[in-house]
Structure 1
Amino acid sequence: MAQPQFLIIALDGGAATGKSSTSRGVAQQHNLLHVDTGTHYRALTLACLDAAVAPAPSPDLVTLLQELELGCQVREREASITLNGRAPALTELRSEEVNALVSRYAALPDVRDAVKAYQRSLADVARQKGFDGLIMDGRDIGTVIFPDADLKIFLFADERTRSERRAAEGQVDAIGDRDKADQQRKIAPLQAASDAHRVDTGDLSLEEVIAHVSRLITETRNAKEA
């Protein structure tokens, strides 16, 4: 049986729109490597906080980023970032302090430059590991990281629904403030690519969103292999 064509899928959206949960679901169905780029910025935010480096351009920030070796740890279908050989714990990445500051650090050009090449290199990791594709979720995947992705999807939902989702997860996250910061930053702002499929997840269950995205992936693969 012929090997399926390798697909790169860009899945973007704001906080608590269901990006990571959806990506994990379709990764299982389509043998994709899943990359949650939000954890990359959270990991760098954590590193900056640990080193007492403020969320502003500075020589200290540049030095810290230069000293960090970004690596990848693949378990099942999940690719996790490592900093100098260590993968931060999820509880660290989702702490209230990181939630409050991640958008400010992610808006810094030096921080975004530090992860851009790393994120693009993960497509090669997926190929080397024998996956049939890569699904990467974030806020600028279809516009900056993989502008030529085989499939682009943009998830959105109203602020109230997303705030309720975060609360149900036991997390404190200022959704409105995060949106404003993500949309207004000068470098790689949150926006849908012009050719992205827009999906409103507000009134859909996770299973319904996964099914919809899964159909889009199947259609994309069938078109490429026709």
Structure 2
Amino acid sequence: MTEASFIIVAIDGGAASGKSSTSRALSARFNLLHVDTGSFYRTMTAELLRVGVSADDADGIGQAAAALPLDTAIEGRRASMCINGRIVPDAEIRTSEVNANVSIFAAVPELRRALLDYQRNLAAVAREHGFPGLVMEGRDIGSVIFPDADFRFFLHADPAERARRRAAEGQTDSIAERDRLDTSRKTAPLACPEGATDIDSTFMTLEEVVERISGDLATRLSPVS
């Protein structure tokens, strides 16, 4: 694999827009390292709540986040954040308490700055592990983390449809409130990056979304499955 052949795919969107399922499918099809940055903010939220840092203490959040020893574990094609050498399990980062607080913590500029270099460095991690590319999902990937990504997509869907998807997953999540917090924050608000491909997934199946994006990626990489 040459440097020129390595690709970065940015997939942004709000809660339950389909970005995680789409990213996982693209990761499998093109053997890309999959990075779910939403899980990073959930992990940090769970840890900060555990040590008693308040969501309205921006300085405290920044200091606590900067002091945490972060590393990355690669499991198959998935990159997981480690804190003190430990992967925080999904059961701890997808609780109702984390759901209620993650967008609040994620809106704090000090936390976003603390994670910026860590997220960008995952491209180097993907290269080191021999992946031909990286697919990173989140809310500011194509606008802040990798504004020069080879491919940038923004997924969105009707709020009612996204709420239905969340319920089908057995999760309790306030889609409207998450949207309000994500789109109104001053630092890296959720929005379709200029020049990104905007995809409305409301009436599309997961397979249709994956096929739409795969057509673009196939101009640079050959699928493995």
1:105 aligns with 2:102: no
CA contact (8 A) 1:48 1:61 kept: yes
Match of residue 17 from structure 1: 17
Cα distance per residue 1:91-127 (max 9 Å; x no partner): 1111111011100000001110111000000000000
Q: Which runs of 4+ in 1 moved over 2 A?
A: 1-4, 57-63
Contact 2:15 2:162 in 1 (8 A): yes
Deviations 1:14-33 (A, max 9, x none): 00001111001011111100
Q: Is the CA contact (8 Å cut-off) linking 1:4 and 1:132 kept in structure 2?
A: no
Cα distance in 2, alignment partners of residues 22 and 4 from structure 1: 25
In 1, Cα distance between the equivalents of 2:185 and 2:194? 19
Cα deviation, residue 209, structure 1: 1.1
User: 1:207 is aligned with what amino acid?
Assistant: E
1:59 offset after TM fit, Å? 4.2
Pairs within 5 Å for 1:2-13: 5-13=5-13
Summarize the alignment of residues 1-226 of structure 1 with structure 2, pairs less than 5 Å apart: 5-219=5-219, 221=220
- Offset of 1:61 from its aligned partner? 2.3
SS in structure 1 at match of 2:208: helix
Query: What's the TM-score, normalizing by structure 1?
Result: 0.94
Q: Is the 8 A contact 2:62 2:114 kept in 1?
A: no
RMSD: 1.5
Corresponding letter in the other structure for 1:53: V
Relative distance call for 1:4 and 1:30 in structure 2 (3 A) is farther
Q: TM-score, normalization: structure 2?
A: 0.94
**How has the CA–CA distance of structure 1 residues 215 and 111 changed in structure 2, closer, same or farther, with 3 Å as cutoff?**
same
Q: Give, in whole Å, the separation in 1 of the partners of 2:2 and 2:11.
A: 27
Deviation at residue 63 of structure 1 after TM alignment: 3.2
Give the distance between the partners of 1:133 and 1:58, measured in 2 at CA: 34
- Paired letter, 1:128: E
- Helix, strand or coil for the counterpart of 2:218? helix
Asked if structure 2 preserves the Cα contact closer than 8 Å seen for 1:162 and 1:175, the reply is yes
Task: Measure, in 1, the Cα distance between the counterparts of 2:131 and 2:199.
Answer: 25
My pick for the range that moved more, 208-217 or 141-150, is 208-217
CA distance in 2, matches of 1:114, 1:41: 11
**CA deviation after TM superposition for structure 1 residue 165, in Å:** 0.5
Q: Could you say what secondary structure the match of 1:123 adopts?
A: helix
CA contact (8 A) 1:57 1:110 kept: no
| Percent of aligned pairs with the same amino acid | 48
| Alignment coverage as a number of residue pairs | 221
